[in-house]
């Protein structure tokens, strides 16, 4: 594990006025990069996500644990004038504020970017919202499934002609936290040259639109929404899951050379020379006919057999794991990305990056609500 002083954001203090997922994940990223993240929670329960269970460990939801590792927690009643005054004074010493309060709430409390940058011109102020900082819905609240639907993302998943389907992971919450953290790091870097802080805005809607950028480029040319392809890809064939005699396999023969090699492995070289399948564009146009050739062959042998043969031919492929079988994969274990928390038997996924060949890890466990209140109020945010 990296020496704390050698982490990129060592010495940076972050005040996190955030709950649920997007804002706390931004704080989680900054914390694992070395920042001291002080999580401000409401008295009498703290972050709502603490109760987002089951599953739970003790009285805390595992969802909360996943994005609040290594932080210090303080409880403050922001309706109390003395507590609010103390917080503003503390922010005057901080480097970063991350907030995803109800739209308009920060400004009502005197905690908006203009208020706090006047107190601390070096402050980097990050706001995470549902619909974005401007526009007719800027003041509307929203959660992950609302924005997956609003953005059009749900209509891109599932079976063609079937009902809208939600992406199972919190791709917008976590993605927005990621973009906000990237913006914060960029603003800190700029501050080293200018001496001035600034604002960062990220939203679930903008994250959704960003993830759909490749599909939207096609729509802008054709005027047609993309078709849904289950495990497949609308632009590449062969690039999807197939049933085998045991369990599904994912095959990605993403160019003409790999496709020809795939046909050799499957024992149907004539498909590789068929003029209907001579290029990716033709394979996309004639996808049903091609799948009708390949599916019965792949169904005739176990997944493990196909993986052995395909890997020997250097054709990208892999099993379709569930959570249990993924957790048993030697490759996942080798990465060291999944680790138990220091003080409880809850395993979490750490940041998906390493620095200087070492995995970034949180410096502590998940705090209880308000666990560090006395410490921070006495010593200050810079401790």
Q: And the tokens for 326?
A: 């993924």
d(CA 139, CA 211): 23
User: Residue 203: helix, strand or coil by DSSP?
Assistant: strand
d(CA 122, CA 105): 22
Residue 350, beta-bridge partner list: none
Residues contacting residue 77 through CB under 8 Å, at least 6 positions apart: 42, 43, 83
Spacing of C-alpha 299 from chain mean position: 34
Cβ(76)–Cβ(83) below 8 Å: yes
Does residue 316 have a cis peptide bond before it, meaning omega lies within 30 degrees of 0?
no
d(CA 3, CA 154): 43
d(CA 44, CA 369): 9
- Catalytic residue, from 173, 322, 327, 343: name it: 173
Verify whether residue 356 is a known catalytic residue: no
User: Residue 353: helix, strand or coil by DSSP?
Assistant: coil
Q: Which residues are catalytic?
A: 173
């Amino acid at each position: 594990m990296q020496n704390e002083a050698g982490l990129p954001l060592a010495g940076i203090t972050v005040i996190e006025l955030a709950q649920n997922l997007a804002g706390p994940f931004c704080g989680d990223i900054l914390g694992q990069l070395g920042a001291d993240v002080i999580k401000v929670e409401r008295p009498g329960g703290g972050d709502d996500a603490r109760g987002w269970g089951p599953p739970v460990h003790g009285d805390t939801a595992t969802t909360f644990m996943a994005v609040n590792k290594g932080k210090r927690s303080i409880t403050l009643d922001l309706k109390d004038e003395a507590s609010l005054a103390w917080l503003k004074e503390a922010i005057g010493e901080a480097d970063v504020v991350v907030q995803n309060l109800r739209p308009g709430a920060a400004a009502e409390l005197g905690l908006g970017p203009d208020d706090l940058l006047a107190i601390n011109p070096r402050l980097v102020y990050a706001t995470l919202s549902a619909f974005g900082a401007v526009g007719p819905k800027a003041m509307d609240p929203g959660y992950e499934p609302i924005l997956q639907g609003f953005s059009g993302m749900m209509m891109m998943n599932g079976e063609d002609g079937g009902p809208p389907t939600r992406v199972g992971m919190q791709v917008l919450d976590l993605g927005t936290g990621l973009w906000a953290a990237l913006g914060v790091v960029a603003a800190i870097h700029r501050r080293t040259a200018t001496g001035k802080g600034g604002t960062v805005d990220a939203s679930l809607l903008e994250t959704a639109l960003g993830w759909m950028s490749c599909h939207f480029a096609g729509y802008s040319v054709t005027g047609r929404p993309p078709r849904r392809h289950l495990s497949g890809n609308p632009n590449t064939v062969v690039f999807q899951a197939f049933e085998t005699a045991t369990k599904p396999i994912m095959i990605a023969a993403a160019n003409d050379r790999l496709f020809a090699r795939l046909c050799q492995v499957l024992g149907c070289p004539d498909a590789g020379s068929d003029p209907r399948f001579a290029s990716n564009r033709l394979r996309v146009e004639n996808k049903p006919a091609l799948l009708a050739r390949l599916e019965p062959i792949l169904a005739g042998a176990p997944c493990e057999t196909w993986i052995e043969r395909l890997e020997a031919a250097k054709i990208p492929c892999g099993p379709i794991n569930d959570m249990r079988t993924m957790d048993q994969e030697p490759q996942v274990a080798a990465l060291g990305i999944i680790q138990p928390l220091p003080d409880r038997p809850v395993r979490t996924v750490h940041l998906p990056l390493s620095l200087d060949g070492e995995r970034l890890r949180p410096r502590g466990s998940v705090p209880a609500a308000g666990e560090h209140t006395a410490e921070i109020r006495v010593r200050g945010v810079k401790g």
